[in-house]
């Protein structure tokens, strides 16, 4: 594969990164700069080490390049910028100098940072180093990157600096457009798309092949509790709703030790069938589990359009989510799902009890939610839109492309 590449700075172990890069693969050489020191996601498929433009000439057409040049100084060391909340290993964040060197060597058509507080911050440092030699910069704003971080003073200053330099922005949620404008960005806003890009909807299990939601007795609970997740609030709501849940199995996904402990206490106190389940590396098995669920409960103070929500909508699990995500851009509240304040435990308990009791509600929501996902999360349609967005940003700033 030859030609000038698109340089993507992103989390190497993220399935979102892998799905997006595979979705836009084919029109240009793609080269990934890992934003953190981590293993590559297996979903990236075939990869190819890239140290110079000449490596692109021999890179197989089905491969994605990975920047592999020897760094000038430490490759991973925190630039003088705040780290994301809860990210403890600052020395595992890629340096802006590494991004700047890759730009100088590869002369990309476009620099695309996917996620802001790691990839975007490194690109900001690189952009300042490159000065007038910087290529057009497309910023992907994932779920909490602006919605949460624009409220934090030290991060807001960095976000304002980014807003002054980027050429275009791609948000997960239309919700974030006025927030980005409020940071000072007056450039090109591309149509919103999920961070994961899309999935092949043709391989998702058909609703007709699954038990109707009213016949399912499994409740799935997203088990994150930390800087954004509020799984303990969800478990508190289950405790309040316990009389309505005696006939159900409740499984908490990706639960931390404190969440596991609370689940065990509630199971013992209320006589409920509650257990913790691990992450499933096999995607088909994870989808099968979702397709067996009557409802999916996710509680948190900040999110975008989470993949768990989209998978629930695709497979008939009635979604109960926090208003701090942008679910209302995908479903109608009280009809297709319940959208509740993450701080209203009593309201969340009422929503869970209703979804457990109202068969007609959960059955009617399933086909509508599936149709929404098929229309808006399809990898074929979204891939075409993403490639058009790349072409648009490249064409709009020809004088900024690295020459």
Residue 122 lies in a domain: yes
Whole-number percent of the chain with pLDDT over 90:
89
Q: Tokens at residue 39, please?
A: 């293993």
- 399 pLDDT band, cuts 50/70/90, is low
Share of the chain above pLDDT 70, in %: 98
Taking the CA of residue 182 as centre, how many other CA atoms within 13 Å lie in the half-sphere pointing to its CB? 10
Query: Are 294 and 358 part of one and the same domain?
Result: yes
Kindly state whether residues 55 and 93 are assigned to the same domain: yes
314 or 279, which is more confident: 314
Residue 282 phi/psi, 5-degree rounding, is: -85, 110
| Spatial CA neighbour of 106 closest among 59, 36, 161 | 59
Q: How far is CA 287 from CA 234, 236, 395, in A?
A: 22, 26, 39
Which has more pLDDT, 150 or 286?
A: 150
Same domain, 138 and 207: no
328 within some domain: yes
Same-domain status, 35 and 58: yes
Task: Please tell me the predicted confidence (pLDDT) of residue 400.
Answer: 47
Q: Are residues 152 and 241 in the same domain?
A: no
- Spatial distance between the Cα atoms of 340 and 207, rounded to a whole number of angstroms: 26
* Structural domain boundaries enclosing 146: 6-198+378-400
Task: For 28-46, write each residue's pLDDT tens digit.
Answer: 999 999 999 999 999 999 9
How confident is residue 204, by pLDDT bands cut at 50, 70 and 90? very high
The whole-angstrom separation of Cα 153 and Cα 285 is 42
pLDDT of residue 87: 83
Looking at the fold, whether 272 and 321 belong to one and the same domain comes out as yes
Q: Are residues 71 and 132 in the same domain?
A: yes
**pLDDT of residue 402 exceeding 50:** no
Q: Which residues pair with 318 in a beta bridge?
A: 295
Residue 25 has pLDDT above 90, yes or no: yes
Give yes or no: residues 213 and 275 share one domain. yes
Read off the pLDDT of residues 170-197 as tens digits, 9 standing for 90 and up.
999 999 999 999 999 999 999 999 998 9
Where does the pLDDT of residue 283 fall: very low under 50, low under 70, confident under 90, or very high at 90 and above?
confident
In this structure, the answer to whether residues 213 and 351 fall within a common structural domain is yes
Residue 363 · residue 370 · CB < 8 Å: no
Give me the half-sphere count of Cα atoms (radius 13 Å) on the Cβ side of residue 368: 14
> pLDDT for 232-278, tens place per residue?
999 999 999 999 999 999 999 999 999 999 999 999 999 999 999 87
Question: How many domains does the chain divide into?
Answer: 2
Which range, of 71-75, 162-166, 325-329, 336-340, averages the lowest pLDDT?
Answer: 71-75
* pLDDT averaged over every residue in the chain: 94
- Domain for residue 73, yes or no? yes
Q: Are 391 and 295 part of one and the same domain?
A: no
DSSP lists the bridge partners of residue 68 as: none
Q: Which of 293, 251, 300, 294 is nearest to 276 (CA)?
A: 251
Print burial letters for 263-292: b (CB count within 10 Å at least 16), e (below 16): beebbeebebebebeeeeeeeeebbebbbb
Residue 134 sits in the same domain as residue 229 = no
DSSP 8-state code for residue 152: S
Residues 306-339 have pLDDT tens digits of: 999 999 999 999 999 999 999 999 999 999 999 9
| pLDDT, average across residues 11-30 | 96
DSSP state string for 248-315: -EEEEES--HHHHHHHHHHHHHHT-EEEEE---S-HHHHHHHHHTEEEEEE-BS--SS-HHHHHHHHH
Distance, in Å, from the CA atom of 244 to the CA atom of 215, rounded to the nearest integer, reads 16
Secondary structure of 87-138 as H, E, C letters: CCCHHHEECHHHHHHHHHHHCCCEEEEECHHHHHHHHHHHHHHHHHHCCCEE
Confidence check: pLDDT of 23 > 90: yes
In a domain, 20, yes or no: yes
Sequence-ordered list of residues with C-beta below 8 angstroms from that of 157, at least 6 positions apart, any chain: none
Assigned domain for 244 exists: yes
Q: Which residue has the tokens 């059955």?
A: 363
Whether the per-residue pLDDT at 218 is higher than 60: the answer is: yes
The CATH number of whichever domain residue 41 belongs to comes to 3.40.50.2000
Q: Residue 401 — pLDDT band, cuts 50, 70, 90?
A: very low
pLDDT class of 1 with cuts at 50, 70, 90: low
Q: How far apart are CA 36 and CA 403, in angstroms?
A: 28
The answer to which of 79-83, 267-271, 351-355, 377-381 has the lowest mean pLDDT is: 79-83
What stretch of H or E contains 202?
A: none
Q: What DSSP state is assigned to residue 216? A: -
- Quick check: is 206 in a domain? yes
Longest distance between any two alpha carbons in the chain, whole Å: 68
383 in the same domain as 323: no
pLDDT at 221 over 50: yes
Q: What is the pLDDT of residue 403?
A: 38
Instruction: Decide if 1 is inside a domain.
Output: no
Dihedrals phi, psi of 129, to nearest 5 degrees: -70, -35
């Amino acid at each position: 594969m030859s030609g000038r590449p698109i340089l993507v700075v992103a989390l190497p172990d993220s399935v979102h990164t892998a799905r997006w890069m595979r979705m836009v693969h084919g029109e240009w050489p793609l080269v990934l700069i890992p934003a953190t020191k981590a293993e590559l996601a297996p979903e990236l498929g075939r990869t190819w080490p890239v140290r110079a433009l000449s490596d692109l000439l021999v890179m197989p057409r089905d491969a994605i390049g990975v920047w592999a040049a020897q760094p000038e100084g430490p490759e991973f060391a925190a630039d003088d910028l705040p780290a994301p909340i809860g990210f403890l290993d600052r020395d595992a964040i890629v340096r802006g100098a590494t991004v700047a060197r890759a730009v100088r060597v590869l002369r990309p058509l476009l620099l695309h940072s996917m996620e802001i507080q790691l990839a975007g911050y490194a690109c900001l440092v690189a952009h300042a180093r490159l000065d007038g030699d910087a290529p057009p910069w497309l910023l992907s704003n994932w779920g909490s990157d602006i919605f949460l971080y624009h409220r934090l003073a030290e991060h807001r200053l960095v976000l304002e600096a980014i807003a002054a330099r980027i050429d275009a922005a791609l948000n997960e949620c239309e919700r974030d457009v006025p927030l980005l404008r409020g940071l000072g960005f007056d450039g090109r806003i591309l149509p919103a798309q999920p961070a994961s890009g899309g999935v092949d909807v043709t391989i998702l299990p058909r609703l007709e092949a699954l038990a109707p939601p009213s016949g399912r007795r499994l409740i799935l609970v997203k088990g994150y509790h930390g800087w954004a997740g509020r799984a303990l609030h969800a478990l508190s709501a289950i405790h309040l709703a316990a009389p309505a849940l005696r006939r159900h199995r409740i499984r908490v996904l990706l639960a931390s030790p404190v969440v596991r402990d609370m689940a065990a206490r509630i199971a013992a106190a209320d006589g409920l069938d509650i257990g913790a389940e691990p992450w499933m590396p096999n995607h088909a098995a994870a989808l099968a589990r979702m397709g067996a669920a009557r409802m999916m409960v996710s509680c948190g103070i900040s999110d975008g359009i989470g993949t768990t929500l989209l998978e629930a909508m695709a497979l008939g699990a009635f979604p109960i989510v926090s208003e701090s995500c942008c679910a209302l851009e995908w479903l109608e509240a009280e009809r297709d799902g319940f959208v509740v304040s993450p701080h209203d435990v009593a309201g969340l308990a009422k929503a869970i009890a209703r979804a457990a009791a109202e068969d007609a509600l959960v059955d009617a929501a399933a086909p509508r939610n599936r149709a929404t996902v098929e229309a808006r999360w399809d990898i074929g349609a979204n891939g075409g839109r993403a490639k058009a967005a790349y072409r648009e940003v490249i064409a709009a700033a020809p004088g900024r492309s690295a020459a």
